[in-house]
Structure 1
C-alpha cells in the first residue's frame, strides 16, 4: 500500500521513494504521469518488486515521472547481491524475515488482537515471506 503525504500534487509526494515499483507506478499513473524507468541497479527482484530509490519529473517533459530502481535482494547472501545487514534497510529486512518465520512457525501470535492480525497480514503481504491471511 502506497502512503503519500498530503500536499499539492506530485511535488510533495516524497513518500514515493522507498516504495515498490508496482505501488509507485500505480500512484504516478493515477496522477496522470507517464512512468519512465531511468535506471535499474541489480537484477535479483522482479521489476514490480524493485524499490524506487529516487524519482523526479522529466525536465523536458513534465508529464513523465522518471524513476530510479534498486532490484537487488533485500539482504545480501553468498552469491546474491543485496543490502548489507549492517545498513538500516538490511537490518529491517533481517528483522522482517525473522518475524515472518515466527508467524509461519506459530500463527497464533497474530490472533491476540485485531491490531496483531492486521500487522501480520501486512507483514506477510509486504515481504511475501509468510502467508498469514487471518482466521
Structure 2
C-alpha cells in the first residue's frame, strides 16, 4: 500500500507541476518590425498616446525608426498624471544596413541580409531600367514598398 500511495503522490505532484508550467501566456508584439510612423499612427487611431521609451542609433529620422518592442506601461498614475492611454515603444534608429563609415545592421543579421537583398535588387533595376520594364507590375510594387531605392529612370517607367 505504501508504494501505491507514493506512486499516486508522485503522479499528482507531476500533474500540478505540468499545470503550473503551462499557465504563462505568450503574445506576439503587434508593433515590432513596423516603422515608428506606422505604429504611432495605428496607436493614435486606437486612442493611445505613443511614447518613445528607448532609442538605439541615430541614423534614421524618428518616423523611419523600427519598433523593436512595445508595451503598455506598468504604472497608470504618477504625480497626478494619468498614463492609462500611454503605449511605450522601443526604437532602433540604426541604418538598415551598415556601410563603411556608417553604423547599421550587420550583414550577418536577418535584418541586414534582407536589406542587402533589397539594395542588390534595386541596383540591378537602376543599372538597367529595361530589366524593370520586362515586369512592370513587380518592379512598381518593389519601388513603392522600398521608397527611395529606385532611380528616377526606373520610376519614369511607371
Could you say what secondary structure the match of 1:25 adopts?
helix
Change (3 A) 1:52 1:33: same
Kept after mapping to 2: 8 A contact 1:19/1:51 = yes
Which residue of structure 2 aligns with residue 33 of structure 1? 48
- Using the alignment, how far apart are the partners of 1:51 and 1:73 within structure 2? 10
Cα displacement string for residues 16-59 of structure 1 (whole angstroms, at most 9, x for unaligned residues):
11111111111111111101000111111111111000001122
- Using the alignment, how far apart are the partners of 1:78 and 1:118 within structure 2? 30
State whether structure 2 residue 132 is matched by structure 1 residue 110: yes
Change (3 A) 1:16 1:23: same
Could you say what secondary structure the match of 2:84 adopts?
strand
Larger radius of gyration: 2
What is the correspondence of 1:1-135 to structure 2 with a 5 Å cutoff?
14-59=29-74, 60=76, 61-113=83-135, 115-125=137-147, 128-131=148-151, 132-133=154-155, 135=158
Aligned length: 122
TM-score, normalization by structure 2: 0.68
TM-score, normalization by structure 1: 0.78
Shift of 1:106: 2.5
The answer to which of 101-110 and 113-122 deviates more is: 113-122
Unaligned 5+ runs, structure 2: 1-26, 77-82
Shift of 1:118: 4.0
Which residue of structure 1 aligns with residue 4 of structure 2? none
